[in-house]
């Protein structure tokens, strides 16, 4: 259910009309009772699922930028995300783990999760999502290094195609201090140790 005060983007009615045509093309009757409101429901859902196009991830970080003399690893892990694969427009979902080493500035911890939210609410591929999160943090905070790991399940693999139910895809990207294998390993060790302790 959508809040009554939710503001939807321009083009909502046209989007709903297209979904009405889609229902016809797959063999359904959009005028039958159960489907009469479906085109508008789907149009609203699609606007929510792609709301990231209208948001500025860099601004989210700069709005909560603080001077701090801290130069050890900051990790925000297990950030849940949901996105739509741009190839089939089916969901993929999982967790994002982010680490950065500050270089004079830190940001609010919730802002890292907001960056993930913004980029995941666009049509995506997992590889690009990983890169965009890393680049946003690197370009905005200018830390000594950033590393991002994304673990996801893809419905396009589970519901169609090879139909493999238990496969997980992992991607990573890093720069700066994380180019050193020792620093990357420290991050990965902290991720695995924390998971084992939960």
Q: Which of 156, 158, 175, 186 is catalytic?
A: 156
To the query of whether residue 192 is one of the catalytic residues in this protein, the response is no
Which among 47, 124, 126, 138 is annotated as catalytic?
Answer: 126
Q: Would you call 14 a catalytic residue per the annotation?
A: no
Q: Annotated catalytic, 4? A: no
| Annotation marks residue 97 as catalytic | no
Residue 154 is among the residues annotated as catalytic for this protein: yes
DSSP state of 66: E
The tens digit of pLDDT for each residue in 133-163 reads 999 999 999 999 999 999 999 998 888 777 6
> In the annotation, is 138 catalytic?
no
- Strand 169-176, strand 105-107: pairing: unpaired
pTM: 0.91
E strands present in the chain: 65-67, 74-85, 91-101, 105-107, 123-124, 145-154, 169-176
Task: Render pLDDT for 74-129 as a digit per residue (tens, 0 to 9).
Answer: 999 999 999 999 999 999 999 999 999 999 999 999 999 999 999 999 999 999 99
């Amino acid at each position: 259910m959508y809040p009554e005060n939710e503001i939807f983007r321009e083009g909502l009615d046209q989007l709903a009309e297209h979904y009405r045509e889609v229902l016809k093309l797959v063999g359904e009757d959009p005028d039958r009772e159960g489907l009469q409101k479906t085109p508008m429901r789907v149009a609203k859902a699609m606007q929510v699922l792609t709301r990231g196009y209208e948001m500025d991830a860099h601004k989210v970080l700069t709005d909560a930028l603080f001077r701090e003399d801290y130069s050890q690893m900051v990790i925000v892990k297990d950030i849940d995300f949901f996105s739509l694969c741009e190839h089939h427009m089916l969901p993929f979902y999982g967790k994002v783990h982010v680490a950065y080493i500050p270089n004079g500035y830190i940001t609010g911890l919730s802002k890292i999760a907001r960056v993930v939210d913004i980029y995941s609410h666009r049509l995506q591929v997992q590889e690009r999502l990983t890169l965009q999160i890393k680049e946003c943090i690197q370009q905005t905070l200018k830390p000594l290094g950033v590393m991002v790991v994304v673990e996801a399940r893809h419905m396009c693999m589970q519901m169609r195609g090879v139909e493999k139910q238990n496969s997980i895809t992992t991607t990573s990207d890093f720069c700066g201090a994380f180019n050193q294998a020792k620093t990357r390993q420290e991050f990965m060790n902290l991720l695995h140790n924390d998971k084992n302790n939960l």
